[in-house]
Amino acid sequence: MSAIVYHPKNMIEPMEGHLAPRTVAESKSEMAEVILPNDTNPLGNLLGGRLMHLIDIAGAMACHRHSRSYVVTASMDHIDFLAPVHVGDLLILCSSVNRAFRTSMEVGVKVWVENYMSGTRRHVASAYLTFVAVDRHGNHLPVPQIVTENEEEKRRFEDAGRRRELRKAESQRKQTKK
Ligand SMILES: CC(C)(COP(=O)(O)OP(=O)(O)OC[C@H]1O[C@@H](n2cnc3c(N)ncnc32)[C@H](O)[C@@H]1OP(=O)(O)O)[C@@H](O)C(=O)NCCC(=O)NCCS
């Protein structure tokens, strides 16, 4: 049996000009997944950990697009599971970068269940994650700044700055407790 091996020599460096500012729209990503029995608990509800895994991938997609580099997950903020997701449901995950800092980016992921009979969508979860851009050796890389184009994107940009300050304060509080 053969396996795909990711090795630094097979990986590429970011291309010249990758630091040019980019719009939020350029990072927008959408993922779809049909929930199968293996994803659920004995009641047929989607496992929280499986949903977090899908959210992580959807968030990474937007950050790859924005930074045009490899990324690692630095953190996932608290996550709201607003409604259960059932086996057979069609899950839609939408992500976009809210704000870029020096080497990190905050991305928002919103998760919906789409009823393919009626064509309607139900919001089932949301999360904010931070990813750090890295090169093939794992060194942190600067990321392009984000360009907001409407009021909604401006609000998310401002909110992301406030959340970053809260994360920093929480991390300092934990350090001083050690
Ligand atoms: C996340 C990680 C890259 C941070 O690196 P570090 O050297 O500890 O942190 P630094 O203080 O240099 O910070 C680098 C950036 O990460 C941000 N960051 C670090 N920890 C963070 C956290 N817990 N939440 C949000 N952002 C964080 C910093 O704010 C900084 O952002 P900036 O450059 O935009 O200002 C590092 O801890 C790591 O590699 N963790 C493991 C990642 C991983 O394996 N993820 C799962 C698989 S992809």
Is it the case that residue 27 has pLDDT exceeding 60?
A: yes
Is it the case that residue 7 has pLDDT exceeding 70?
A: no
Sign, CA torsion 129/16/27/169: positive
Is it the case that residue 125 has pLDDT exceeding 60?
A: yes
Is the shortest distance between the CB of 53 and ligand 1 below 6 Å? no
Q: What's the start-to-end Cα distance of the chain, in Å? A: 47
Q: How many residues does the chain have?
A: 178
Question: In DSSP terms, which residues pair with 80 in a beta bridge?
Answer: 126
Which of 132, 137, 163, 172 has the most ligand 1 atoms within 8 A of CB, as the residue to mutate?
A: 132
- Residue 1: the pLDDT is 41
Lowest-confidence segment of 6-15, 58-67, 115-124, 139-148 by average pLDDT: 6-15
Mention every residue, 6+ apart, whose C-beta is less than 8 A from residue 171. Answer: none
Assess contact for 24 and 148: CB atoms under 8 A. Answer: yes
- Residue 11: the pLDDT is 67
Task: Residue 96: name the closest of 23, 17, 21 by CA.
Answer: 23
Assess contact for 29 and 61: CB atoms under 8 A. Answer: yes
Place of tokens 């293996």: 38
Domains of the chain: 18-177 (3.10.129.10)
Residue 138 is which amino acid?
A: G
Is it the case that residue 52 has pLDDT exceeding 60?
A: yes
Count of CB atoms within 10 A of residue 43's CB?
Answer: 8
Is it the case that residue 8 has pLDDT exceeding 80?
A: no
CA of 14 to the centre of ligand 1 (A): 19
Is the shortest distance between the CB of 130 and ligand 1 below 6 Å? yes
Which of 99, 104, 134, 172 has the most ligand 1 atoms within 8 A of CB, as the residue to mutate?
A: 104
Is the shortest distance between the CB of 92 and ligand 1 below 6 Å? no
